[in-house]
Amino acid sequence: MERTGSGGPEVYIREITEDRIDFILSHTDLSVANALRRVMIAEVPTIAIDMVEIELNTSVLADEFIAHRLGMIPLDSNEVDRIKYTRDCNCSQYCSNCSVELTLDVKCTGNNTLDITSKDLVSNDPRIIPVVSGPEDNGILIVKLRKGQELKLNCVAKKGVSKEHAKWSPISGVGFEYDPWNKLRHSRWWIEEDAEKEWPVSKNGEFEEKPSPNDRNVS
């Protein structure tokens, strides 16, 4: 998977899975790599729970504690382009054009502790639901209830970006290395002898080989 242009930046994808990508960006400045990193962290819109109305809470956790936990639950945001930002919408608070509603109505009736997870949230839009990473994923724990305890609430999820609040961050981590083989030997004192040989990118801007994450010189 290589994209070659007329001398512009190039991206070589080393590994891509459902929730992870590892790529080499070349023929560009360090500032472009850092700009990409910053955009991924702060400016990619997603959908997250923004308002919570608690109708009934007899659990051991305080209302605001549960509201914060709900906000941090990742929601499937593939349909984010269909949703407007509330600030660009004509409504006063929220409407179906700029929000999705999720409800939670659970009560523990058995003798065992009941785990309430993100899977118990019911969305009014089947395309915007809490993220589940596979059949073995039990969802994200919100609260545990004992016999007789009850939790009933309504959530309003809205579109946003993570520079406003981290709950809208689409990533869990992003980083880059401009010298993946540690050719510049950051960890010890060193005097350059042969710039061409020792700098991470060769004269024509090409990497000499495609390194794998396990193939690094960390001396």
Q: Are 28 and 9 in contact (CB under 8 A)?
A: yes
Instruction: Candidates 9-17, 40-48, 92-100, 125-133: pick the segment binding Zn ion (CB under 5 A).
Output: 92-100
Q: Judged by CB under 5 A, does residue 98 bind Zn ion? A: yes
Complex with Zn ion: residue 30 or 95, whichever CB lies closer? 95
Q: How far apart are CA 219 and CA 213, in angstroms?
A: 15
- The distance of closest approach from Cβ of residue 88 to Zn ion in the complex, given in angstroms and rounded to an integer, is 9
Q: Which of 169, 182, 172 is nearest to 19 (CA)?
A: 172
**Residue placing its CB nearer to Zn ion in the complex, 4 or 97:** 97
Closer Cβ to Zn ion, 53 or 137, answer by number: 53
Decide if 48 contacts 168 (C-beta within 8 A): yes
Nearest to 174 by CA among 38, 49, 7: 38
Nearer to Zn ion (CB atom), residue 18 or residue 88? 88
Give the chain's length: 219
The single residue listed with the structure tokens 């994808």 is 13
Q: How far is the CB of 42 from Zn ion (least distance, A)?
A: 24
Q: What are phi and psi of 186, to 5 degrees?
A: -65, -25
56 binds Zn ion (CB under 5 A): no
Q: Residue 198 forms beta bridges with which residues?
A: none
Of the pair 60, 91, the CB lying nearest Zn ion is at 91
**Which of 91, 45, 75, 44 minimizes the C-alpha distance to 155?**
75
Candidates 13, 30, 91, 122; binder of Zn ion (CB under 5 A) is 91
Q: Does 95 bind Zn ion (CB under 5 A)?
A: yes
Identify the residue among 89, 116, 142, 155 touching Zn ion (CB under 5 A).
Answer: 89
Q: Which residues bind Zn ion (CB under 5 A)?
A: 89, 91, 95, 97-98
